[in-house]
Amino acid sequence: MTTETQIQEKPVPETTFPWERGTYDPPPAYAWLREHEPVRRVVLHDGTPAWLVTRYNDVRSILADPRVSSNQNLPGFPQIELVPRPSEEESTFLNMDAPRHTLFRRLISKHFIVKKLEVMRPRIQALVDEHIDHIIDRSEPFDFVEEIALPVPSTVIAWLLGVPPSDHPFFNRETEALLAASLGTEEAIERATEAYANINDYVDRLIAEREKLDDPGDDILGDLVRASREGQIERRDVLNTAWLLLVAGHDTTANMIGLGMLTLLEHPDQLAQLQAEPALIPDAIEELLRYLTVVHLIILRIATEDIEIGGVTIPAGEGIIPLNFAANRDDGHFPDAAKFDIRRRPRDHVAFGYGVHQCIGQALARIELQIVFETLLRRIPNVRLATDPADIQFKSHASINGIARLPVAL
Protein backbone atom coordinates (compact mmCIF):
# COMPACT_ATOMS: atom_id res chain seq x y z
CA MET A 1 0.00 0.00 0.00
CA THR A 2 1.31 3.46 -0.90
CA THR A 3 1.71 5.70 2.13
CA GLU A 4 1.73 9.46 2.28
CA THR A 5 5.34 9.39 3.50
CA GLN A 6 6.37 7.81 0.20
CA ILE A 7 4.73 10.45 -1.98
CA GLN A 8 5.72 13.69 -0.24
CA GLU A 9 7.78 14.88 -3.20
CA LYS A 10 5.32 14.08 -5.98
CA PRO A 11 4.06 17.23 -7.72
CA VAL A 12 0.49 18.46 -7.98
CA PRO A 13 -1.39 17.05 -11.02
CA GLU A 14 -1.95 19.37 -13.96
CA THR A 15 -5.45 17.97 -14.43
CA THR A 16 -8.61 19.63 -13.19
CA PHE A 17 -9.73 18.97 -9.63
CA PRO A 18 -10.83 16.61 -8.07
CA TRP A 19 -8.07 14.04 -8.27
CA GLU A 20 -8.51 10.33 -7.70
CA ARG A 21 -7.95 9.23 -4.12
CA GLY A 22 -6.22 6.00 -3.19
CA THR A 23 -7.80 2.99 -1.55
CA TYR A 24 -7.34 4.23 2.01
CA ASP A 25 -5.23 7.32 1.46
CA PRO A 26 -5.95 10.81 0.09
CA PRO A 27 -4.70 11.76 -3.38
CA PRO A 28 -0.88 11.94 -3.17
CA ALA A 29 -0.85 15.67 -3.93
CA TYR A 30 -2.56 16.53 -0.63
CA ALA A 31 0.55 15.70 1.39
CA TRP A 32 2.75 17.76 -0.94
CA LEU A 33 0.36 20.71 -0.76
CA ARG A 34 0.21 20.56 3.04
CA GLU A 35 3.98 20.80 3.15
CA HIS A 36 4.66 23.29 0.35
CA GLU A 37 1.49 25.14 -0.66
CA PRO A 38 -1.24 24.68 1.96
CA VAL A 39 -3.67 27.06 0.21
CA ARG A 40 -3.70 26.37 -3.53
CA ARG A 41 -5.86 27.68 -6.38
CA VAL A 42 -7.05 24.93 -8.76
CA VAL A 43 -9.43 24.68 -11.69
CA LEU A 44 -12.54 22.52 -11.54
CA HIS A 45 -13.95 20.46 -14.41
CA ASP A 46 -16.31 23.27 -15.44
CA GLY A 47 -13.45 25.79 -15.68
CA THR A 48 -14.21 27.71 -12.48
CA PRO A 49 -11.47 28.28 -9.88
CA ALA A 50 -11.52 27.07 -6.30
CA TRP A 51 -9.06 27.12 -3.41
CA LEU A 52 -7.88 23.94 -1.70
CA VAL A 53 -7.12 24.25 2.00
CA THR A 54 -5.12 21.31 3.33
CA ARG A 55 -3.73 21.96 6.83
CA TYR A 56 -5.71 21.01 9.91
CA ASN A 57 -5.73 24.42 11.61
CA ASP A 58 -6.55 26.23 8.36
CA VAL A 59 -9.43 23.86 7.55
CA ARG A 60 -11.00 24.44 10.98
CA SER A 61 -10.46 28.17 10.66
CA ILE A 62 -12.26 28.31 7.30
CA LEU A 63 -15.16 26.20 8.54
CA ALA A 64 -15.67 28.56 11.49
CA ASP A 65 -15.25 31.78 9.47
CA PRO A 66 -18.45 33.86 9.09
CA ARG A 67 -17.09 35.22 5.80
CA VAL A 68 -17.69 31.91 4.01
CA SER A 69 -21.03 30.70 2.72
CA SER A 70 -22.55 27.28 2.07
CA ASN A 71 -25.08 28.68 -0.42
CA GLN A 72 -24.56 26.64 -3.59
CA ASN A 73 -26.64 29.08 -5.62
CA LEU A 74 -24.09 31.88 -5.30
CA PRO A 75 -22.07 32.49 -8.50
CA GLY A 76 -18.68 30.82 -8.22
CA PHE A 77 -19.74 28.15 -5.73
CA PRO A 78 -17.57 25.07 -6.41
CA GLN A 79 -19.21 22.27 -8.38
CA ILE A 80 -17.49 18.92 -7.81
CA GLU A 81 -19.97 16.42 -9.21
CA LEU A 82 -20.48 16.11 -12.95
CA VAL A 83 -24.25 15.91 -12.49
CA PRO A 84 -26.23 19.15 -12.79
CA ARG A 85 -26.32 21.32 -9.68
CA PRO A 86 -29.63 21.18 -7.79
CA SER A 87 -31.87 24.20 -8.33
CA GLU A 88 -32.66 26.62 -5.53
CA GLU A 89 -35.98 24.81 -5.05
CA GLU A 90 -34.08 21.53 -4.56
CA SER A 91 -31.59 22.93 -2.02
CA THR A 92 -31.24 21.30 1.38
CA PHE A 93 -30.14 22.93 4.62
CA LEU A 94 -26.67 21.53 3.92
CA ASN A 95 -26.39 24.34 1.37
CA MET A 96 -28.05 27.13 3.34
CA ASP A 97 -26.73 29.87 5.61
CA ALA A 98 -28.31 31.33 8.72
CA PRO A 99 -31.11 32.02 9.44
CA ARG A 100 -32.60 29.33 7.13
CA HIS A 101 -29.95 26.80 8.07
CA THR A 102 -30.54 27.50 11.76
CA LEU A 103 -34.28 26.93 11.34
CA PHE A 104 -33.85 23.49 9.77
CA ARG A 105 -31.26 22.42 12.36
CA ARG A 106 -33.68 23.42 15.10
CA LEU A 107 -36.56 21.51 13.51
CA ILE A 108 -34.75 18.17 13.44
CA SER A 109 -31.96 18.46 16.04
CA LYS A 110 -34.05 16.96 18.84
CA HIS A 111 -34.06 13.64 16.97
CA PHE A 112 -30.25 13.50 17.07
CA ILE A 113 -29.40 14.44 20.65
CA VAL A 114 -27.33 11.80 22.44
CA LYS A 115 -29.83 11.21 25.25
CA LYS A 116 -32.63 10.38 22.81
CA LEU A 117 -30.41 8.24 20.59
CA GLU A 118 -29.14 6.22 23.55
CA VAL A 119 -32.72 5.09 24.12
CA MET A 120 -32.52 3.51 20.65
CA ARG A 121 -29.38 1.55 21.50
CA PRO A 122 -31.19 -1.69 22.51
CA ARG A 123 -33.30 -1.52 19.36
CA ILE A 124 -30.21 -1.04 17.16
CA GLN A 125 -28.48 -3.87 19.04
CA ALA A 126 -31.40 -6.18 18.32
CA LEU A 127 -31.30 -5.20 14.64
CA VAL A 128 -27.58 -5.96 14.35
CA ASP A 129 -28.01 -9.27 16.17
CA GLU A 130 -30.82 -10.18 13.80
CA HIS A 131 -28.61 -9.65 10.77
CA ILE A 132 -25.75 -11.58 12.33
CA ASP A 133 -28.14 -14.44 13.12
CA HIS A 134 -28.66 -14.76 9.36
CA ILE A 135 -24.96 -15.21 8.63
CA ILE A 136 -23.43 -16.82 11.70
CA ASP A 137 -23.85 -20.38 10.42
CA ARG A 138 -22.85 -19.68 6.82
CA SER A 139 -20.40 -22.23 5.44
CA GLU A 140 -19.89 -20.29 2.22
CA PRO A 141 -18.43 -16.78 1.77
CA PHE A 142 -20.90 -13.91 1.72
CA ASP A 143 -20.90 -10.20 0.96
CA PHE A 144 -20.48 -8.25 4.20
CA VAL A 145 -21.66 -5.03 2.53
CA GLU A 146 -24.93 -6.58 1.41
CA GLU A 147 -25.62 -8.47 4.65
CA ILE A 148 -24.54 -5.91 7.28
CA ALA A 149 -23.16 -2.59 6.05
CA LEU A 150 -26.12 -1.55 3.88
CA PRO A 151 -29.25 -2.81 5.67
CA VAL A 152 -28.43 -1.70 9.24
CA PRO A 153 -28.13 2.08 8.66
CA SER A 154 -30.94 1.98 6.10
CA THR A 155 -33.32 0.51 8.66
CA VAL A 156 -32.25 2.94 11.39
CA ILE A 157 -32.81 6.01 9.21
CA ALA A 158 -36.19 4.54 8.21
CA TRP A 159 -37.12 4.44 11.91
CA LEU A 160 -36.16 8.08 12.37
CA LEU A 161 -37.93 9.29 9.27
CA GLY A 162 -41.10 7.38 10.15
CA VAL A 163 -41.18 4.78 7.38
CA PRO A 164 -43.78 2.12 8.32
CA PRO A 165 -42.19 -1.27 9.21
CA SER A 166 -44.11 -2.99 6.41
CA ASP A 167 -42.31 -0.76 3.90
CA HIS A 168 -38.77 -1.36 5.21
CA PRO A 169 -37.92 -4.10 2.65
CA PHE A 170 -38.86 -1.78 -0.23
CA PHE A 171 -37.09 1.18 1.38
CA ASN A 172 -33.88 -0.79 2.02
CA ARG A 173 -33.86 -2.33 -1.46
CA GLU A 174 -34.30 0.98 -3.25
CA THR A 175 -31.83 2.93 -1.12
CA GLU A 176 -29.18 0.25 -1.71
CA ALA A 177 -29.77 0.53 -5.46
CA LEU A 178 -29.57 4.31 -5.23
CA LEU A 179 -26.16 4.21 -3.53
CA ALA A 180 -24.80 1.72 -6.08
CA ALA A 181 -24.61 4.58 -8.61
CA SER A 182 -21.20 5.46 -7.18
CA LEU A 183 -19.85 2.31 -8.86
CA GLY A 184 -20.13 4.20 -12.13
CA THR A 185 -21.27 1.30 -14.32
CA GLU A 186 -24.03 1.89 -16.85
CA GLU A 187 -26.21 -0.79 -15.25
CA ALA A 188 -25.75 0.64 -11.73
CA ILE A 189 -26.52 4.18 -12.86
CA GLU A 190 -29.65 3.04 -14.73
CA ARG A 191 -30.90 1.14 -11.68
CA ALA A 192 -30.07 4.05 -9.37
CA THR A 193 -32.05 6.41 -11.60
CA GLU A 194 -35.04 4.10 -11.29
CA ALA A 195 -34.54 3.88 -7.51
CA TYR A 196 -34.38 7.68 -7.24
CA ALA A 197 -37.79 7.97 -8.91
CA ASN A 198 -39.24 5.17 -6.79
CA ILE A 199 -38.05 6.65 -3.50
CA ASN A 200 -39.07 10.15 -4.52
CA ASP A 201 -42.61 8.96 -5.27
CA TYR A 202 -42.70 6.93 -2.08
CA VAL A 203 -41.56 9.76 0.22
CA ASP A 204 -43.95 12.14 -1.53
CA ARG A 205 -46.81 9.72 -0.77
CA LEU A 206 -45.70 9.44 2.86
CA ILE A 207 -45.77 13.23 3.17
CA ALA A 208 -49.23 13.39 1.58
CA GLU A 209 -50.51 10.80 4.05
CA ARG A 210 -49.11 12.75 7.01
CA GLU A 211 -50.62 15.98 5.70
CA LYS A 212 -54.10 14.46 6.00
CA LEU A 213 -53.67 13.77 9.73
CA ASP A 214 -54.53 16.20 12.52
CA ASP A 215 -51.37 15.02 14.27
CA PRO A 216 -48.68 14.19 11.65
CA GLY A 217 -46.54 12.34 14.22
CA ASP A 218 -43.52 12.95 16.41
CA ASP A 219 -40.85 11.52 14.09
CA ILE A 220 -38.75 13.63 11.72
CA LEU A 221 -41.26 13.51 8.88
CA GLY A 222 -44.06 14.48 11.24
CA ASP A 223 -42.13 17.49 12.58
CA LEU A 224 -41.32 18.65 9.05
CA VAL A 225 -44.95 18.31 7.90
CA ARG A 226 -46.05 20.27 10.98
CA ALA A 227 -43.53 23.03 10.21
CA SER A 228 -44.79 23.16 6.61
CA ARG A 229 -48.38 23.38 7.82
CA GLU A 230 -47.41 26.30 10.09
CA GLY A 231 -45.72 28.12 7.22
CA GLN A 232 -42.18 27.88 8.61
CA ILE A 233 -40.97 25.95 5.55
CA GLU A 234 -42.31 25.01 2.12
CA ARG A 235 -43.65 21.59 1.24
CA ARG A 236 -40.72 21.00 -1.10
CA ASP A 237 -38.43 21.55 1.91
CA VAL A 238 -40.02 18.54 3.60
CA LEU A 239 -39.11 16.30 0.67
CA ASN A 240 -35.63 17.82 0.24
CA THR A 241 -34.80 17.38 3.93
CA ALA A 242 -36.04 13.80 3.95
CA TRP A 243 -33.78 13.13 0.97
CA LEU A 244 -30.76 14.69 2.65
CA LEU A 245 -31.23 12.65 5.81
CA LEU A 246 -31.77 9.50 3.77
CA VAL A 247 -28.51 9.90 1.88
CA ALA A 248 -26.45 11.37 4.72
CA GLY A 249 -27.82 8.91 7.26
CA HIS A 250 -27.39 5.84 5.11
CA ASP A 251 -24.61 6.34 2.57
CA THR A 252 -21.96 7.62 4.98
CA THR A 253 -22.55 5.07 7.74
CA ALA A 254 -22.91 2.15 5.32
CA ASN A 255 -19.59 3.03 3.71
CA MET A 256 -17.92 3.45 7.11
CA ILE A 257 -19.11 0.00 8.21
CA GLY A 258 -17.89 -1.72 5.04
CA LEU A 259 -14.61 0.14 4.70
CA GLY A 260 -14.03 0.02 8.46
CA MET A 261 -14.39 -3.76 8.48
CA LEU A 262 -11.91 -4.07 5.64
CA THR A 263 -9.47 -1.76 7.44
CA LEU A 264 -9.55 -3.94 10.55
CA LEU A 265 -9.12 -7.11 8.51
CA GLU A 266 -6.15 -5.51 6.77
CA HIS A 267 -4.64 -4.64 10.18
CA PRO A 268 -4.82 -7.97 12.05
CA ASP A 269 -2.66 -6.73 14.92
CA GLN A 270 -5.13 -3.91 15.59
CA LEU A 271 -8.07 -6.29 15.22
CA ALA A 272 -6.53 -8.67 17.77
CA GLN A 273 -6.10 -5.79 20.23
CA LEU A 274 -9.76 -4.87 19.88
CA GLN A 275 -10.87 -8.45 20.42
CA ALA A 276 -8.71 -8.63 23.55
CA GLU A 277 -9.80 -5.20 24.85
CA PRO A 278 -13.36 -4.34 23.72
CA ALA A 279 -13.20 -1.17 25.81
CA LEU A 280 -11.01 0.25 23.03
CA ILE A 281 -13.86 0.16 20.51
CA PRO A 282 -15.04 3.81 20.98
CA ASP A 283 -11.48 5.05 20.41
CA ALA A 284 -11.09 2.68 17.46
CA ILE A 285 -14.23 4.14 15.89
CA GLU A 286 -12.79 7.65 16.15
CA GLU A 287 -9.56 6.48 14.56
CA LEU A 288 -11.45 4.77 11.74
CA LEU A 289 -13.39 8.00 11.14
CA ARG A 290 -10.17 10.03 11.03
CA TYR A 291 -8.13 7.55 9.04
CA LEU A 292 -10.77 6.85 6.39
CA THR A 293 -12.61 10.20 6.22
CA VAL A 294 -15.14 8.66 3.83
CA VAL A 295 -16.97 11.99 3.38
CA HIS A 296 -14.23 13.47 1.29
CA LEU A 297 -15.58 16.09 -1.13
CA ILE A 298 -18.92 17.15 0.33
CA ILE A 299 -17.74 20.14 2.39
CA LEU A 300 -17.75 23.08 -0.05
CA ARG A 301 -17.80 26.82 0.59
CA ILE A 302 -17.49 30.21 -1.14
CA ALA A 303 -15.84 33.38 0.13
CA THR A 304 -18.24 36.30 0.63
CA GLU A 305 -15.33 38.65 1.46
CA ASP A 306 -11.59 38.56 0.84
CA ILE A 307 -10.13 36.07 3.31
CA GLU A 308 -6.47 35.70 4.24
CA ILE A 309 -5.59 32.17 5.28
CA GLY A 310 -2.19 30.52 5.41
CA GLY A 311 -0.55 33.67 4.08
CA VAL A 312 -2.76 33.67 0.96
CA THR A 313 -5.71 35.91 0.12
CA ILE A 314 -8.78 34.13 -1.23
CA PRO A 315 -10.84 36.71 -3.19
CA ALA A 316 -14.52 37.22 -2.52
CA GLY A 317 -16.70 35.23 -4.91
CA GLU A 318 -14.31 32.29 -5.34
CA GLY A 319 -14.93 28.76 -4.13
CA ILE A 320 -13.17 27.13 -1.21
CA ILE A 321 -12.72 23.39 -0.66
CA PRO A 322 -11.61 22.74 2.93
CA LEU A 323 -10.11 19.27 2.54
CA ASN A 324 -11.04 17.47 5.74
CA PHE A 325 -9.26 14.33 4.51
CA ALA A 326 -6.02 16.27 4.15
CA ALA A 327 -6.59 17.85 7.58
CA ASN A 328 -7.14 14.44 9.18
CA ARG A 329 -3.81 13.25 7.75
CA ASP A 330 -1.85 16.33 8.92
CA ASP A 331 1.25 15.17 10.81
CA GLY A 332 1.38 18.59 12.41
CA HIS A 333 -1.75 17.74 14.37
CA PHE A 334 -1.88 13.93 14.30
CA PRO A 335 1.70 12.60 14.58
CA ASP A 336 2.42 9.83 12.07
CA ALA A 337 -1.02 10.55 10.62
CA ALA A 338 -0.77 8.03 7.76
CA LYS A 339 -0.63 5.20 10.31
CA PHE A 340 -3.83 3.53 11.53
CA ASP A 341 -3.62 3.30 15.32
CA ILE A 342 -6.65 2.39 17.44
CA ARG A 343 -4.95 3.81 20.56
CA ARG A 344 -4.55 7.29 19.08
CA ARG A 345 -7.74 8.87 20.60
CA PRO A 346 -8.24 11.50 17.82
CA ARG A 347 -11.32 13.12 19.35
CA ASP A 348 -10.86 16.38 17.45
CA HIS A 349 -10.79 14.95 13.93
CA VAL A 350 -12.87 16.70 11.24
CA ALA A 351 -14.45 13.65 9.60
CA PHE A 352 -17.85 15.16 10.51
CA GLY A 353 -16.82 18.67 9.49
CA TYR A 354 -16.58 21.56 11.93
CA GLY A 355 -18.52 24.68 12.89
CA VAL A 356 -22.23 25.36 12.45
CA HIS A 357 -22.54 22.82 9.63
CA GLN A 358 -20.93 19.98 11.56
CA CYS A 359 -22.81 16.74 10.82
CA ILE A 360 -26.05 16.71 12.78
CA GLY A 361 -26.14 12.90 12.76
CA GLN A 362 -22.67 12.24 14.16
CA ALA A 363 -23.92 10.89 17.50
CA LEU A 364 -26.15 8.40 15.68
CA ALA A 365 -23.28 7.32 13.42
CA ARG A 366 -21.04 6.71 16.43
CA ILE A 367 -23.68 4.61 18.18
CA GLU A 368 -24.32 2.52 15.07
CA LEU A 369 -20.62 1.97 14.44
CA GLN A 370 -19.91 1.07 18.06
CA ILE A 371 -22.75 -1.46 18.18
CA VAL A 372 -21.90 -3.02 14.81
CA PHE A 373 -18.19 -3.51 15.51
CA GLU A 374 -18.58 -4.59 19.14
CA THR A 375 -21.15 -7.19 18.09
CA LEU A 376 -19.12 -8.41 15.12
CA LEU A 377 -15.96 -8.86 17.17
CA ARG A 378 -17.89 -10.66 19.90
CA ARG A 379 -20.14 -12.90 17.82
CA ILE A 380 -18.03 -13.65 14.71
CA PRO A 381 -14.42 -13.20 15.93
CA ASN A 382 -13.01 -15.43 13.18
CA VAL A 383 -14.33 -13.38 10.26
CA ARG A 384 -11.77 -13.19 7.46
CA LEU A 385 -11.41 -11.90 3.92
CA ALA A 386 -12.59 -14.34 1.28
CA THR A 387 -10.96 -12.61 -1.68
CA ASP A 388 -7.66 -11.13 -2.78
CA PRO A 389 -7.49 -7.59 -1.34
CA ALA A 390 -6.36 -6.39 -4.77
CA ASP A 391 -9.75 -7.41 -6.20
CA ILE A 392 -11.78 -5.19 -3.85
CA GLN A 393 -13.41 -2.33 -5.72
CA PHE A 394 -13.11 1.05 -4.00
CA LYS A 395 -15.31 4.04 -4.80
CA SER A 396 -12.17 6.08 -5.34
CA HIS A 397 -13.80 8.63 -7.66
CA ALA A 398 -16.84 9.25 -5.48
CA SER A 399 -17.28 12.15 -3.07
CA ILE A 400 -18.07 9.57 -0.38
CA ASN A 401 -15.57 6.70 -0.40
CA GLY A 402 -16.43 3.09 0.29
CA ILE A 403 -16.30 -0.37 -1.22
CA ALA A 404 -18.73 -2.06 -3.56
CA ARG A 405 -18.48 -5.56 -2.07
CA LEU A 406 -16.58 -7.24 0.75
CA PRO A 407 -16.52 -11.04 0.43
CA VAL A 408 -15.83 -12.57 3.84
CA ALA A 409 -15.99 -16.02 5.41
CA LEU A 410 -16.37 -17.34 8.94
Sketch the domain layout of the chain as residue ranges. 16-409
Q: How confident is the model at residue 86 (pLDDT cuts 50, 70, 90)?
A: low
**Mean pLDDT for the stretch of residues 390-409:** 88
User: 232 by DSSP, 3-state: which?
Assistant: coil
| Helix (H) or strand (E) segment spanning residue 409 | strand 407-409
pLDDT per position as a tens digit, 149-171: 999 998 999 899 888 888 888 87
**Strand partners for 302:** 69, 319
* Mean local confidence (pLDDT), 110-114: 93
What's the average model confidence in pLDDT over 192-210?
A: 88
Q: What is the pLDDT of residues 142-153, one digit of tens each?
A: 999 999 999 999
Q: Is the pLDDT score of 9 beyond 60?
A: no
CA angle 298, 299, 302 (to 5 degrees): 125
* DSSP track, 369-403: HHHHHHHHHHH-TT-EE-S-GGG--B-TTSSB--B
Alpha-carbon gap, residue 178 to 254, rounded angstroms: 13
Amino acid identity for residue 342 in this structure: I
E strands, 127-184, are 142-143
Q: How many CB atoms lie within 10 A of CB 400?
A: 19
What's the confidence (pLDDT) of residue 3?
A: 47
Provide the CATH number for the domain formed by 16-409 in this structure: 1.10.630.10
Phi, psi of 91 (to 5 degrees): -65, 145
